[in-house]
Amino acid sequence: MPAPTAPPVPDPGPGADPGIPADARYPQFTGAVRRDTAPPTGQAPVSPPASGPPERARRGVGRHLLAAIRELLIVGSIALLLSFVVKTFLAQAFYIPSESMETTLVTDDRVIVSKLTPGLVDLHRGDVVVFADPNNWLATQPSTDRGPVLNQVTRALTFVGLLPNTAEGHLIKRVIGLPGDKVVCCDAQGRLSVNGTALTEPYVKAGETPSDITFNITVPAGRIWVMGDNRGHSSDSRLHDDTGDGASGSVPVDLVVGRAFVLVWPLSRWDWLENYQGSYAAVPPAS
């Protein structure tokens, strides 16, 4: 009978070295305390760093807050840009500082002015327009002083269109004559006439005459003849026509900012600003 032999030892395969102690094979773990074994007597358990729900909640709130601030800044910047574009090219709010347009407009009213007129939209007789002071029509008045900080904030918000222009350096009047029109005051009934047609002017303030100043002018090319609705309290084309022929009293169309088309403040006075085309319907074109 053959002698018994030991069973063959299985090949452990490449990389295995069962003859080397674990401490020698993994020296980085030598002396380490395993979490599933108890620490030596008298030694406190080793705990992982605190990272519980309160800390995660605080980090979450911080991320949400930063995201909200970033979104607010983006939306605010877009709003300012849009407001500036609208104010520059489309429409702008203006504040009424005087009584010259009563009762259509009174002091402290706010109106929206369309900057599409003149330009894309033609001027018409009867339009209420805002224009830059053509030749020192306005007396020099000190600006309202709100302090250095508020002054700068007010200017900035007005510049981007978030506050109405206080009309410093601007006037608001009604167009009576277009370029080439012959405007005369007054006929036997005390009415203005344009190109020989007498006007009925329902917008003139009650108790006021169409004009206490007589004139007979032809509006020069590229200019308009303007008057306030409160005829006895309006410094308009009549009072500044030193030459008496309409050349100095008329306003260059290039100085017109736009046409006021709606009264927006106070809300109790909200109204569309009519240009009373019916009053001028029978007026023939300038010859």
Which are the contacts of 81, defined by CB distance < 8 A and separation ≥ 6?
none
51 as an active site residue: the answer is no
For 164, 258, 260, the CA distances from 129, given in Å and listed in that order, are: 16, 6, 6
C-alpha Rg value of the chain to the nearest Å = 41
Active-site residue, from 173, 211, 237, 250? 173
Write a three-state SS string for 83-126: HHHHHHHHEEEEECCCCCCCCCCCCCCEEEEECCCCCCCCCCCC
Sign of CA dihedral 227, 232, 233, 239: positive
Active-site residue, from 100, 114, 234, 279? 100
Closest CA relative to residue 204, chosen from 175, 171, 235, 231:
231
What is the C-alpha separation between 224 and 241, in angstroms, rounded?
12
For the sheet with 192-194, list strands across it.
197-198, 192-194, 182-185, 215-218
Say if residues 221 and 180 touch (Cβ distance below 8 Å): yes
173 as an active site residue: the answer is yes
Residues that are catalytic? 100, 173
